[in-house]
Amino acid sequence: MKTIFKFLIVLCFCTVNIVNAGTYDGYTLYSKMGNKNVYLIDMSGNIYHTWACNVATGYSSYLLSNQVLLRSCQYQGNKLNGAAMCGMVQKVDWNGNLLWQYTYSTSSYCTHHDICPMPNGNVLLISYDVRSATEVAAAGCSKTMSIWSEKIIEVKPTGLYTGEIVWEWQVWDHLVQEYSSAKNNYGVVKEHPELYNINYNTQQDWMHANGISYNESLNQIVFSSHNLNELYVIDHSTTTEEAAGHTGGNSGKGGDILYRWGNPAAYGATGTKIFNVVHDAHWVPEYCPNGGYLAAFNNGGTGSKSTIDLISPPYSGYNYTHINGSAYAPTTYTSRYVCNGRSGNQSNSQQLPNGNMLICLAESGYMYEIDASQNIVWTYTAGGTVSKAFRYTADYVTGVTETIVPKKQINIYPNPTTGTITIDGTFNQNDYVISIYNVTGQLLLRKSNSKTINIGNLDKGVYNVQIETENEVINKRIILTK
């Protein structure tokens, strides 16, 4: 087995505050939105592995069991412009080599937000599905406008830059409305909770789907909607043709909604609205406590703090029990964890086998782990927006053994500085590159083999100094006062 010696890298603005007994040990994967790097850190916050990718992160990254990184990316040729727009997905090996890159982006559709790896190697993608004002009117919408509807596609990699859509499901095939009796989809909304009411909270970015998860044993998909404040379960055992209709699949219901939860008003039912902006709908793995529950990140859960809401669905084989006109059970969350802070958007949780939970508050880049008694046992602040974070065991991260050795000593002085800084230390001072970045990651200055650098022309503030040698990268923070 190949052994790689990697010097410890601790990026500035990244801090580990607590490491207590009772953690679920392993490595945490995260990436910052708009940043090309993806990091795997150990329990002490040391960077164990970095993927220096060629395209910025779009939303989420996953480590597959073969040490392959799966990530959503920001395609630079996108025609649509919205929140967490991606348009591209990549698979990258442990050494940073591109294995697969698939672009799905035109003026009519574009992938966005989360992705979901499949056991068969395929990938589920959420995509906008642009519908013209004419199509919207024909669907019985009370407003004259174009709508970005949603669809989910399953893509099979077929080449370095190619893929085959082997399954597709569209919201547009499952609409109901009681605005125009002349339309084919006319009906009483509360009598059709298996359909989407096109006249509920209608806007251009109508649903704003964001999180997606797959349950292999049920062969079902769950996804969450930011703007409708719901999560939805649909059947994946259908063919694409069946997914466009109302029959077929294990459920016998085609592509209709099997289960929905979070906002009964969206389907005309009475009941309490629980979600106030929701992300990260997923199943709790069967090997974890509360396995089979559905979980979601409720961004505005208590108003001042976000919550992780877990619900126990009323399973009935491949379907879910429900009485028309009423809210889907349960009437409220089965359990709730109030977060140690608030994130108005994005974010996720991961339920761990020992009963712990990893939580990522996206907007602050704050990740932390709680034990079964809700004690905080580990925290890490990355800085910047981190949409999702995941913990993987050391056994899972196999194939390449990396030995972390202490980082080289570096001194930058004076710090704070009014303009000129001097750099020295135990690193290789004969062949290195010094780069200065601002807090957003923008490169401002780069020099080779310079021990003294004048940054007096920059605005006062905080900057990151990065020193790169042949086999190491060292980062330090400096403050320019002037």
SS3 track for 237-303: CCCHHHHCCCCCCCCCCCCCCCEEECCHHHHCCECCCCCCCEEEEEECCCCCCCCCCEEEEECCCCC
Per-residue tokens: 274: 């629980």
Class of domain 410-480: mainly beta
Query: How far apart are the C-alpha atoms of 293 and 278, rounded to whole Å?
Result: 16
> Is 2.130.10.10 the CATH number for 3-405?
yes
Torsion (CA) 437, 442, 447, 448 in degrees, nearest 10: 90
Query: How far apart are the C-alpha atoms of 253 and 224, rounded to whole Å?
Result: 20
The pLDDT of residue 47: 92
Query: How far apart are the C-alpha atoms of 193 and 257, rounded to whole Å?
Result: 7
The pLDDT of residue 250: 97
Q: How far is CA 17 from CA 50, 369, 462, in A?
A: 22, 12, 21
Burial of 160 (0-12, 13-18, 19+ CB in 10 A): exposed
Q: Strands of 452-454's sheet, edge to edge?
A: 410-413, 420-425, 452-454
Positive/negative CA dihedral, 7, 12, 13, 19: positive
Radius of gyration for the alpha carbons in the chain, expressed in angstroms and rounded: 24
Angle at 32 between CA 26 and CA 36, to 5 degrees: 105
Burial of 321 (0-12, 13-18, 19+ CB in 10 A): exposed
The pLDDT of residue 470: 62
**Which of 231, 197, 182, 190 is closest to 211 using CA atoms?**
231
Torsion (CA) 337, 342, 347, 350 in degrees, nearest 10: -20
What is the Cβ-side half-sphere exposure of residue 345, based on CA atoms within 13 angstroms? 13
Query: How far apart are the C-alpha atoms of 262 and 332, rounded to whole Å?
Result: 8
Instruction: Report strand pairing: 147-159 vs 162-170.
Output: antiparallel
Are 412 and 465 spatial neighbours (Cβ–Cβ below 8 Å)?
A: yes
Are 477 and 12 spatial neighbours (Cβ–Cβ below 8 Å)?
A: yes
Name the stretches of the chain with pLDDT < 50: 1-13, 400-407, 439-440
The pLDDT of residue 274: 98
- Give residue for tokens 């703007």: 227
Q: Where in the chain is the domain with CATH 2.130.10.10?
A: 3-405
Q: Where in the chain is the domain with CATH 2.60.40.1930?
A: 410-480
The pLDDT of residue 14: 59
| Eight-class DSSP state of 68 | -
Query: For the chain, how far is it from start to end, CA to CA, in angstroms?
Result: 52
Give the distance, in angstroms, between the CA of residue 416 and the centroid of all CA atoms in the same chain: 36
Length of the chain: 482
